[in-house]
Amino acid sequence: MSTHTLLLLSRDNPDYQQRLLSAGLPGLRVQRADSLAEAEPLIAGADLVLGEPARLLPLLTRAKALKWMQSTYAGVEVLLGDGLRQDYQLTNVRGIFGPMMSEYVFGHLLSLTRHLPLYREQQRQRIWHPLPYATLDGRTLLILGTGSIGQHLATTGQHFGMQVWGVNRSGREVAGFDETFQLQALPRLLPQADVIVSVLPATRETFHLLDGAQLARCKPSCILFSVGRGSTIDTRALIQYLRQGQLGAAVLDVFEQEPLPASHPLWEMPNLIITPHNSAWSEPGQVVRIFARNYLRYVEGEALEFLVDMQQGY
C-alpha cells in the first residue's frame, strides 16, 4: 500500500493527531502545522489535508500534491470562490449536527414563547404576574433546507405537535416533513409560517434568499432563526424590519460578517438574540470517525462520502 501524507490544519491539532495515530490507519503519515508559518514548508508534500477551510485557503496555490481535503466544518464556501482551484476532492462533515441544532433552536424557541427571560426579570423584582403564551402545538414550522439537520429539526417539531414544512431545490419529499416545496414556493409559504428556520448552505441561489421583499411577507409574530449561513438573509433588510417591529423575534447564530463587529447595528436591535456561531460544534472524535471511514474508501479507490459539489457549493 502506498503512503499518504496528511497535514493537520486545525485549532485542535493535538487532539486530531492523537486520535489519528491511535486509529492505526494503514499507510497514513500524519503531520501537523499549528500556524501558517509551520504549514508553509509542509504543504507542498501533503496529498491529504484535514482541517479548517480558512486555514487551507492561503496555502492552496502551494499545495502541489493535494488530492483530498477533509474539512472539519460543514461550511466550505471559503474554498469555493471564483478563481480558486478545484482539482482536488473536498469533503465536509455531515450527519452530526442535527441533535445540537435542535437543542439550540427549540431551546431558544421555548424560551421566547414561554417568556422565560421576562419571568427571570420578574423574579429579580419579586413580581408575580402570569403572562399569556401560545403553545407550539398546531403552529407551522417552515424549515429552509431538508438535509440531515433539517430532518432532525422536523422530527423535533413534530414531537411538539407542529405542522412542519420543508423547502429544498427540487421539492422532493423528505422523511419527517408533512410537506416539502421548491424554493420558488417561498412567497406563498412565508405568510403562513409561525417559525422559520434557515439551515441552507451558502450558494449563489441562496444568497439573500430572505431579502426585503421576502421578509415583508412574514407574519408580524413570526420567529426567524438563521443557523445555516449568514448570507441567506439580507442583513440591512432584517435590521429595517426589526426596527419597525415587523417580526416577532429573530435568533441569529450566523452572519454575513464574522466575527460581528462591536459597532454593528444588529447588537442594538429589539427582539434579536445573537450567538457567536456556536449552535453546533464538530467534535474531533466525530470528525476523525468520518475521516477514517473515508480514508479507507480513498485508498481502495471508492467514492468518498460527503463529497462537496464545487459547482453547486455544497
The catalytic residues are 229, 258, 277
Tell me the residue ranges of DSSP E strands in 4-74: 4-9, 28-32, 48-51, 68-71
Q: What is the DSSP string of 134-198?
A: --STT-EEEEE--SHHHHHHHHHHHHTT-EEEEEESS----TT-SEEEEGGGHHHHGGG-SEEEE
| SS3 at position 131 | coil
Closest CA to 252 of 271, 272, 234, 270: 272
Class of residue 134 by CB neighbours under 10 A (exposed 0-12, middle 13-18, buried 19+): exposed
Cα–Cα distance, 224 to 215 (Å, whole number): 10
